[in-house]
Chains A and B, each alone.
Chain A
């Protein structure tokens, strides 16, 4: 699908209207009975003003931040999540969501003519700005996709750390693919494969409903599988949240190392104190790290090359490429039947050669984009490996600012929380 229609829309409409004047000028029959034809029913969309959505989003984010950081109330966070699910999910039908707005923003960066309405811009920016100050409060209770999964996470179990880390790579792949499909003009992948939006508007393709239902079922035990292992917007929030100013902390005051919270986090987002007994000495570790750093360009090169090699497969994401392939195969007599698309193509004015040329140009774009995508994945891989081999010392049980979704589950496990009557701002001590 071409996403550039928007800019040309005005022009198109003008041209179209112009053409119609010549086409449809033929006068109506003259009715003797004084018949008057009914008017056409062309209702306009009953849209809620953008300001309402932005305000609700802002208030919900603010309330969550307040509940997490100041009030430290899991119930409050949960209530806000219910509200978000109802408002942003079922009432606003889950569109536009901040997760999807990522695509509009990226597309606007690629295509200068692609307009981004203010509401989309705000939906993209507000969660990030809040993450910069309060961590991923958006994920905690405002995101309708997160909320619906949060509702389902009834008896979460912990995923082994190595698996968690590895599956986490998928979010980067999804982000990379999203950008790739935007760069190549393929379309909005996040919207296309949004698993839960079908529930919000009570209608989706059968397959997507199954996927969505399956994810929710899994989510009963493996909490928030989409957020943790797929969500591309989560990657951005994770990066920003690392620099958050007032992030949720497990304990309201001093950590007493009681280890009660250790298993409370279903997201594996609690950093445990680093044990003092290193299995490898500092020098070996440094050597390994050095080797890894040296190897990194090689790894990135390999993945970039792999991406480039695989571009033909990925190029099939693009409808024009698929159509060109189909038409070419039909031309050669490989199919007895034509498809709706090839019929429509033949009914049009374009010659096959032009279609092939267009498809070749798109394929070429894919070649570059896939190389970049491959390189990006290599970079992510190396980054993960480096992060795993660099030991950052921590002495207390604290939230991993990147992974923590600020769900406030752990608060209840902290005896310090239970013991202290008025909660002091834990960050008051600088």
Chain B
């Protein structure tokens, strides 16, 4: 800011205030904090369904993700099939997902792969609940950062009954369930 050298008391005060503000900004910048993003901790999530309804975006920026290494690749999948499903096919009467966002592909006897179509997923967490009750919990919700607008105060976080939302470093950005590297070696 260019300021003509003046002798007025007010001018002096103004410059002083500007310098103080700049100093404050400098101090803050030096605190070394980095950008953060909102993310939900699947260990705390209770699948209440608010991620689907409370996001400022429509459909929500929260989507179901699938940690394949944890998945059991089961035929009878609690996240894919209705609890009382009479058959294990893709019929609407058997599928749990209300928008049909999970696809089931045969891998080899007796394993099936389940894939989430994020374009369709609304983040309601119904499959997450099914997978957690009956399965390994490989399906869970995450905030997708290509969609999230990064509100100052996340509208879902505010309404999360389990306080599962927190700000985390933008470098990690996700709270994923993963196996540790040690068991990755397969025989």
**A residues within 8 Å of B by Cβ?**
1-2, 5-6, 9-10, 12-13, 16, 19-21, 23-33, 35, 37-38, 40-47, 50, 93, 95-96, 100-101, 103-104, 108, 115-118, 121-122, 125, 128-129, 132-133, 187-188, 191-192, 197-198, 201, 203-205, 243, 245, 319, 340-341, 343-345, 347-348
Asked whether B76 is an interface residue with its Cβ less than 8 Å from the other chain, the reply is no
With A16-B175, A121-B24, A125-B21 as contacts: A26 and B108 at CB distance below 8 Å: no
21 A-B residue pairs with CB within 8 Å: A6-B166, A9-B36, A9-B167, A9-B169, A12-B166, A20-B43, A24-B179, A29-B111, A37-B71, A38-B113, A42-B145, A47-B35, A95-B151, A115-B31, A116-B28, A117-B35, A125-B21, A133-B1, A187-B158, A192-B153, A204-B56
Residues in B neighbouring A33, C-beta threshold 8 A:
107-108
A16 lies within 8 A of B68 (CB): no
B162 lies within 8 A of A344 (CB): yes
* Least distance between A77 CB and chain B CB atoms (Å): 21
A245 lies within 8 A of B11 (CB): yes
* Least distance between B75 CB and chain A CB atoms (Å): 12
Chain B, 95-125, CB within 8 A of any chain A CB? 107-108, 111, 113, 115, 118
Asked whether B126 is an interface residue with its Cβ less than 8 Å from the other chain, the reply is no
A37 to B152, CA, bound (A): 36
A25 lies within 8 A of B36 (CB): no
With A44-B173, A121-B28, A340-B161 as contacts: A115 and B1 at CB distance below 8 Å: no
Q: Considering only CB atoms, which chain B residue lies closest to A200 in the complex?
A: B149
A2 lies within 8 A of B163 (CB): yes
Residues in B neighbouring A41, C-beta threshold 8 A:
65, 118
Shortest 4 CB-CB distances between A and B: which pairs?
A: A115-B33, A344-B161, A37-B68, A188-B153
Given contact pairs A20-B178, A26-B136, A129-B21, enumerate 8 new A-B contacts (beta carbons under 8 Å): A12-B166, A24-B180, A50-B35, A118-B25, A187-B158, A191-B151, A203-B58, A340-B50
Q: Considering only CB atoms, which chain A residue lies closest to B73 in the complex?
A: A29
* Least distance between A36 CB and chain B CB atoms (Å): 9
With A243-B14, A245-B11 as contacts: A93 and B166 at CB distance below 8 Å: no
CB 8 Å contact bits of B36-50 with A (1 = contact, 0 = none): 110001010010111
A157 to B12, CA, bound (A): 40
* Least distance between B27 CB and chain A CB atoms (Å): 9
Asked whether B86 is an interface residue with its Cβ less than 8 Å from the other chain, the reply is no
Q: Considering only CB atoms, which chain A residue lies closest to B181 in the complex?
A: A21
B149 lies within 8 A of A93 (CB): yes
B73 lies within 8 A of A38 (CB): no
From A37, A43, A118, A128, B144 is in contact (CB under 8 Å) with A43
A343 lies within 8 A of B161 (CB): yes
A71 to B21, CA, bound (A): 28
Q: Considering only CB atoms, which chain B residue lies closest to A118 in the complex?
A: B29
A45 lies within 8 A of B14 (CB): no
* Least distance between A221 CB and chain B CB atoms (Å): 29
Asked whether B83 is an interface residue with its Cβ less than 8 Å from the other chain, the reply is no
